[in-house]
Structure 1
C-alpha cells in the first residue's frame, strides 16, 4: 500500500489543493482548514451544504500562512494572517463556540459580494484551536476548523467500489479527504486502528459521517439531481442512520508526508 494523494483545504468548504508533499503537525496538514467563513451577525460557520457556490472559491495557502482568494469574475485578493489576539470574533462550528481573530473588512467585503450574504473571514491560530469531540483521541489532540478531526483518510479501493455501484465517474475531491491510500481492498480502512505512513504513525479514531456535500460536483458546484453518490452509499454504508465513508485520523507527532510513501497497518 502507498499514499497516492494528499489534499489540503486552506479555507473550510472552498476548493482543495492537491499536494505532492506536506509538513504535518498538531492540526493536521500544514495550512489545512485554518480559515473559515462565518455569518457576520451570529458567527455561525458557512459551508457548501447551504452555499454550494463555495465550491467555486479558490483559497491558496502561502508560505507564511496568508491566503490568496480567487473566484470567477473577481480580482484575486491576498489576505494576511491576523494577529492571534486582536479583533477576536465569537464563532460557532457545530457544538463548539470559541473566539478567533477576524481577517478584516476588505476580505469580508470581497467574500460577502461573492457569497451574496454578509460574512466574515476568520483564522484559527494553533493556540486557539479546538479539542476533539468528547470520547475520541487524547487530551492533547486538537483540530482547527475541520468538522471534528484533523485528518480524513479514504482508500482508493473504496472509491472504486462506489464508482462501480453508481455507474459513473466520481471525483475523490467531492469526499474531501486529506490522505488517499491505494493498494488495499475496498473499505479495508474500516478495520485499521493504527497505521504508519513513511516514518509517521497515526491513530484511526472513527468513521466519517457523510452528508449532502458529497452530491455537489466540485468542478461546477451543481448538485446531482439523483442525489448520488449519497443515494447509493445509503444502500450499503449506512449504520444507525449515519452514512459512513472514510476514516478520521490523528497523527502522533509531526513530520513530512509525501505522495508515494509506503503505508503499513500496525494494528
Structure 2
C-alpha cells in the first residue's frame, strides 16, 4: 500500500463525527428487539382486540389456557370438522379452524341463494361458506364464550401473571436503556477524543517524516513497516553515534506476535511495534545474584540487571524458578509493609500476563550499557556453561521470561507479582 493511499485512508477515517455514515446495517441489528417491544406494547394497549384476535400475553408466553383446551374440541359442536374455505387472499401458516372463525374480530356474513352464508374472517382474509345452522350457532355467542379467556378464572390469572412479568421486564429494560445510553455517550466521547489524538499524531508524523515509508525495516530477518524521520532529525543521532542511522516510527500495519505467542497458541491476536519478538520481558533479581556469584568466583566484576534489558524486574528469592511461570498477575498491594515503594492507592484492576517462553540470550549482555564497552567473554561464557535449558534454544543460554499481557494495564514499582499457574512444558518456537 502506498503512503498516499495510507494518508487518504486515515483522512477518511478521521472525518468529523458530524458526518454520519449509512446506518442501515446497524438498524437491521435492532429490528428484532424493536419488533418485540412494539408487539408487546400493542398487546398491552389493545387488550380487548388482542383477546378477540386469538392472541394474548399468556398465550404469547405459552401458558396453558383452559380456553385453548375448549377451542381444540370446538369442532364437535358444528356440522363439519372444519369450515369450508372458498379462498384465502393472504398466505396463512395453518388451516382455518372453527376457533379461528369464532375468535375473528371480522365476521362479515352474506346470505346466498342456496341458504348458505359466505363469511369473511380475519385470518388469511379467508372467505368461508357456512351452513345456516353453523351461522346461527355462532350468532348465539356461545362458541365465543367457550373460547374467550375472560370466561375462565385460571386464564385471567395467567394473563395477570404474564402482564406483571411484562411490566417487570419493561422496567428492567428502562434501567438498561438508561445505562446503555450513558455508556454509549461515554464511548462516543472517548472515540471522538481518540480520533483527534490520531489526527494530531498523523499531522506531527507527516511534518517530521513526510510520510516516507520504508518497507525494508527488518527485525531479526522479519520485515515490517516504518516511517523514516527526516534527515534534519536523523543528523543528530548519526553525529552522536558517528555512524549513519535513521529514526523510524512504526507504521500502521499490525505486526502480529508469532511463534510461542501466535494466535493459535494463545487464543488471541496480539501485536507489537519494534521489540524483538514479544511485548514484555520479565527478569528476577534472584538469578542475577546467583550469576554474579559465579562471575565473582571467575574473577569477573558483577553486572547489573540492565545488561538484560527487562521491562519488569521482580524481587525474587529462589533463582531460576521463573522457568516454570505460565500465568502471572500484577496488582497493587493494600499495604506498604513489604516494600517502601509500594503504591499508596489501590484503584486499577490487576494485570494478567501469559508467560509464553524463556528468553534466549545473545552476547549483547556482554556490553556495559554505561560505557558501551563489550567484554570479550562474560557473562556469555558463564551463562552458556549452565543455562542452555530450553530444547528449542539449543545453543543459547536463557535469562528472563517473555510475557504477553491479556489487556492494557498499569505497572508501577512496588506492585505485587503473583504466579498463578506453572508449567514444565516451556519450549521456544521460532
**TM-score bucket (shorter structure):** 0.5 to 0.7
Note closer, same or farther for the CA distance 1:147–1:112 as it changes in structure 2 (3 Å cut): same
1:252 equivalent in structure 2: 406
1:157 equivalent in structure 2: 286
Deviation (angstroms), 1:81 = 5.6
Point out the structure with max Rg over C-alpha.
2
Query: 2 CA distance for matches of 1:137 and 1:196?
Result: 21
SS at match of 2:259: coil
1:97 aligns with 2:226: no
Query: 2 CA distance for matches of 1:219 and 1:155?
Result: 21
Q: Is the 8 A contact 1:82 1:102 kept in 2?
A: no
Deviation (angstroms), 1:149 = 0.7
Q: Is the 8 A contact 2:261 2:404 kept in 1?
A: no
1:230 aligns with 2:380: yes
Task: Please list every run of 5 or more consecutive structure 1 residues that lacks an aligned counterpart in the other structure.
Answer: 1-63, 65-79
SS at match of 2:399: strand
Query: 1 CA distance for matches of 2:408 and 2:260?
Result: 23
Normalized against structure 1, the TM-score is what? 0.65
Query: 2 CA distance for matches of 1:134 and 1:224?
Result: 31
Q: Which deviates the most, 180-189 or 214-223?
A: 180-189
Query: 1 CA distance for matches of 2:224 and 2:361?
Result: 25
Query: 2 CA distance for matches of 1:108 and 1:222?
Result: 24
2:270 equivalent in structure 1: 141
2:34 equivalent in structure 1: none
1:190 aligns with 2:316: no
Query: 2 CA distance for matches of 1:187 and 1:255?
Result: 26
Deviation (angstroms), 1:134 = 3.0
> Between Structure 1 and Structure 2, which shows a larger proportion of helix residues?
2
Task: Please list every run of 5 or more consecutive structure 2 residues that lacks an aligned counterpart in the other structure.
Answer: 1-196, 198-202, 332-349, 422-430
> Between Structure 1 and Structure 2, which shows a larger proportion of strand residues?
1
1:202 aligns with 2:353: yes
Note closer, same or farther for the CA distance 1:195–1:137 as it changes in structure 2 (3 Å cut): farther
SS at match of 1:223: coil
Q: Is the 8 A contact 1:155 1:189 kept in 2?
A: yes
SS at match of 1:257: coil
Normalized against structure 2, the TM-score is what? 0.41
After TM superposition, the structure 1 = structure 2 runs for residues 17-96 of structure 1, keeping only pairs within 5 Å, are: 82-83=205-206, 86-90=211-215, 91-96=217-222
Q: Is the 8 A contact 2:257 2:269 kept in 1?
A: no
1:128 equivalent in structure 2: 253
For the aligned residue pairs, the C-alpha RMSD in angstroms reads 2.2
